[in-house]
Amino acid sequence: MLAAIYYNNRNVRIQEMPIPEIAEDEMLVKVMACGICGSDVTEWYRVPKAPRVLGHEAAGIIEKVGAKVKGYKVGERVFVSHHVPCGKCHYCLRGHHTACETLHTTNYFPGGFAQYIRVPSINVEHGVYRLPADMTYDEGTFIEPLACVIRGQRLAAIREDDALLIIGSGIAGLLHVQLAKFKGVHKIIATDINPHRLSLAKKFGAHHTINAAENIPQRVKELNDGRLADQVVICTGATQAALTALECVDKGGTILFFAVPDPTVKIPVPITAFWRDEITLKTSYGAAPRDLEEALAVLAQKKLNVADMVTHRFGIKQAAEGFRLMAEAKESLKIIIEPNRD
């Protein structure tokens, strides 16, 4: 089979690999579509573990099932979660499933940017989701990123009466916009430095947009009756985004670090002012089974417009071009690799 081996954003090599062999409690899935995540082109996060096959938003068809696998059959259309928690440890029992050590060590092999993946036993048991008959593979690739957004908004306790500021209008930011609109948030403000992405933010439901070159705190006040934002969600790893967020949150508000700068960056938090104003800093990482189940249910309702978020589709041999466009972040948005496309 063919697989895209990631070395860095400018070096993605297409290589032949053996189709994985499965054990009796595993399954083999033929990958029909896998989205390129923003984290896939975050080099400080990916390069230290390179070379490897990335891809964690895979949807496809069950090709083989092991003799001990129950409840699934060849030919079923599925989304497969790459990480699954144990459900039993201290962190899982306290609702912090994405801090579970098992979650951080489970994965399918070799990755979604390959024609086939071997799904280990624990993923078969806790990480395989059947796609509804009317859900496309493209839509299936949104289950994982939407689940991450669902988790983030739940942890931040975003409410309908919040003024919500989303910093960064890439795929994650626009999913935050769409989910907040779906949940009835009354004021959604999106920012970005890219005018094209600001126009997309309006298209996908933002009530207001602000170019990041402007004075964002001042513009938020103008749009929100003189107040800053109740909720600020950071959807870009740019250091300036994190610094701006600190200036945009209202008293009693919350800043959600959905994306973070690289580990060398130190963010100077005005902790005394935040202490006085009861401001909360939250982080959110990944998705747990309940988030994936909710994402599947939301997408099945067809209330979110994810189809129009897909800007590019490539076969496996063109994966390097997909990574290049994703890293450039100009007019691309959701880029999908179709490993078994003719």
Residue 32 inside a domain? The answer is: yes
pLDDT of residue 19 exceeding 80? yes
Give pLDDT, residue 126: 95
Q: Region 300-324: what's the mean pLDDT? A: 97
How many CB atoms neighbour CB 89 within 10 A?
16
Query: Per-residue pLDDT tens for 254-285?
Result: 999 999 999 999 999 999 999 999 999 999 99
150-152-153 Cα angle (round to 5): 65
Instruction: Based on the fold, state whether residues 272 and 253 are members of the same structural domain.
Output: yes
Q: Model confidence at 342, in pLDDT bands (50, 70, 90)?
A: confident
pLDDT of residue 294 exceeding 90? yes
Residue 68 inside a domain? The answer is: yes
CB 116 within 8 A of CB 94: no
Q: What is the CATH number of the domain that holds 233?
A: 3.40.50.720
Q: How far is CA 248 from CA 10, 106, 231, 273, in A?
A: 35, 37, 9, 13
Instruction: Based on the fold, state whether residues 153 and 270 are members of the same structural domain.
Output: yes
Q: Which residue has the tokens 């890219």?
A: 194
Instruction: Based on the fold, state whether residues 11 and 128 are members of the same structural domain.
Output: yes
Residue 294 inside a domain? The answer is: no
Instruction: Based on the fold, state whether residues 59 and 136 are members of the same structural domain.
Output: yes
Instruction: Based on the fold, state whether residues 78 and 190 are members of the same structural domain.
Output: no
Query: Per-residue pLDDT tens for 26-44?
Result: 999 999 999 999 999 999 9
Give pLDDT, residue 232: 98
Instruction: Based on the fold, state whether residues 49 and 179 are members of the same structural domain.
Output: no
d(CA 324, CA 311): 14
Question: Which residues does 339 contact at the CB level (< 8 Å), separation at least 6?
Answer: 2, 3, 31, 32, 34, 112, 113, 114, 115, 315, 316
Residue 291 inside a domain? The answer is: no
Query: Per-residue pLDDT tens for 144-158?
Result: 999 999 999 999 999
Query: Per-residue pLDDT tens for 194-207?
Result: 999 999 999 999 99
pTM: 0.97
Q: Model confidence at 226, in pLDDT bands (50, 70, 90)?
A: very high
Give pLDDT, residue 120: 98
153-156-157 Cα angle (round to 5): 85
Long-range contacts of residues 271-279, Cβ cutoff 8 Å, at least 24 apart: 277/251, 277/252, 278/251, 278/252, 279/249, 279/251, 279/252, 279/253, 279/254, 279/255
Q: What is the CATH number of the domain that holds 91?
A: 3.90.180.10
Instruction: Based on the fold, state whether residues 61 and 110 are members of the same structural domain.
Output: yes
Q: How many domains does the chain have?
A: 2
Q: Region 201-222: what's the mean pLDDT? A: 98
Residue 297 inside a domain? The answer is: no
Host domain of residue 101: 2-142+306-338
318-322-327 Cα angle (round to 5): 145
Residue at a domain's end among 250, 268, 283: 283
Q: How far is CA 80 from CA 7, 289, 340, in A?
A: 24, 11, 17
Residue 239 inside a domain? The answer is: yes
Query: Per-residue pLDDT tens for 56-78?
Result: 999 999 999 999 999 999 999 99
Instruction: Based on the fold, state whether residues 155 and 215 are members of the same structural domain.
Output: yes
Q: Region 87-95: what's the mean pLDDT? A: 97
Residue 295 inside a domain? The answer is: no
Mean pLDDT (the chain) is 97
Q: Which residue has the tokens 């580990």?
A: 263
| Lookup: tokens for 25 | 């409690």
Residue at a domain's end among 238, 268, 283: 283
Residue 288 inside a domain? The answer is: no
Give pLDDT, residue 331: 87
Question: Which residues does 23 contact at the CB level (< 8 Å), separation at least 6?
Answer: 66, 121
Instruction: Based on the fold, state whether residues 6 and 136 are members of the same structural domain.
Output: yes
- The residues with which 335 forms a beta bridge, in sequence order, are 312
Instruction: Based on the fold, state whether residues 91 and 17 are members of the same structural domain.
Output: yes
Instruction: Based on the fold, state whether residues 250 and 151 are members of the same structural domain.
Output: yes
Q: Region 224-235: what's the mean pLDDT? A: 98
Instruction: Based on the fold, state whether residues 72 and 124 are members of the same structural domain.
Output: yes
